[in-house]
Amino acid sequence: MARARNRIAGIISVFGELLITAGLVLGLFVVYSLWWTNVLADRAAGKDADQVRDRWAGGPGALDTRDGIGFLHVPAMGDGEILVKKGTEPDILNNGVAGYYTDPIKSALPQDKQGNFTLAAHRDGHGAKFHNIHKLKNGDSIVFESRDTWFVYKVYKSLPETTKYNVNVLQPVPKESGRTKPGRYITLTTCTPMYTSDYRYIVWGELERTEKVDRDRTPPAELR
């Protein structure tokens, strides 16, 4: 009798320990997702960004796509620059960069005469480069820096929630933003609400002007 009771107590205590262990593992997963992936991604992006900057050190020049095509500066989302690379697959975005779409709708590039420069980046973890996308208001600047040009875009429309199947937001003329004529647009996409990816958050901007990069890479007024 006493032995049977001991065995039951033993089973219950092992079960309890497993539950505690599961809780600790889930806690560690949160630490991993929201902290450690940022450490790794920022390290990787920093390294690639340094390479791009090194190659650009020779002065302004033609577009150069190795390691990344340039940097996105969004003062309203916080300081710092976001390296932009080709593609939106996880192995690209997980390295702390913003990627431009190649699929399902191919992105235009900023220097193209018209089209939509469409970008995606993580909201949380892996650098969380678009974490503060909700702080972007109409009229805020999004500046893309290529080797020889500053492209200054102004935000004109945000879509705080849409389904992940809404690929029309990437159209060369994004009708959902209210624009009907071809132009030079920029589209930022990321997931929402924060810490999940039930929906997508979209921000549209339109090119306002461009500035040639000078020898000192003096930033445009928006970044000063």
What does R_g of the chain's alpha carbons equal in angstroms? Answer: 22
Distances in whole angstroms, Cα of residue 127 to Cα of each of 95, 130, 172, 173, 191: 7, 9, 28, 30, 14
Q: Which stretch binds other proteins (CB under 8 A): 41-49, 72-80, 142-150, 193-201?
A: 193-201
Residue in 101, 144, 150, 185 binding other proteins, rule: CB under 8 A:
101
Stretch that binds other proteins, among 30-38, 53-61, 147-155, 178-186 (CB under 8 A): 30-38
Judged by beta carbon, residue 49 or residue 128, the one nearer other proteins is 128
Residues 141-160 that bind other proteins (CB under 8 A): none
Q: Which residue, 124, 122, 126, 97, is CA-closest to 39?
A: 126
Which entry of 191, 202, 203, 213 is annotated as an active-site residue? 191
Out of 58, 165, 180, 221, the only residue in the binding site for other proteins (CB under 8 A) is 165
Q: Does 7 bind other proteins (CB under 8 A)?
A: no
| 191 noted as active-site residue | yes
Nearest residue to 194 (alpha-carbon basis) of 156, 149, 160? 160
| Tokens 């004109």 found at | 156
Q: How many residues bind other proteins (CB under 8 A)?
A: 40
Instruction: List the one residue from 52, 84, 88, 146 that touches other proteins (CB under 8 A).
Output: 88
Task: Pull the structure tokens for residue 75.
Answer: 């003062």
Is the CA virtual torsion 150, 71, 172, 205 positive or negative?
Answer: negative
**164 contacts other proteins (rule: CB under 8 A):** yes
Min dist. Cβ of residue 222 to other proteins (A): 25
Q: Indicate which single residue of 130, 151, 153, 185 sits in contact with other proteins (rule: CB under 8 A).
A: 130
Contacting residue, 12, 28, 78, 175, with other proteins by CB under 8 A? 28
State residue 216 phi and psi, 5-degree precision: -90, 5
Burial of 161-190, coded b for 16+ CB within 10 Å and e otherwise, reads: ebeeeeeebbbbebeebebeeeebbbbbbb
Residue (of 173, 170, 110, 114) closest to 142 by Cα position: 110
Phi and psi (nearest 5°) for 141?
-95, 140
**Does residue 139 interact with other proteins by CB under 8 A?**
no
Q: How far is the CB of 45 from other proteins (least distance, A)?
A: 15
**Interface residue list for other proteins (CB under 8 A):** 13-14, 17-18, 25, 28-29, 32-33, 36-37, 88, 90, 93, 101, 103-104, 120-126, 130, 162, 164-167, 169-170, 189-191, 195-198, 200
Catalytic annotation, residues: 191
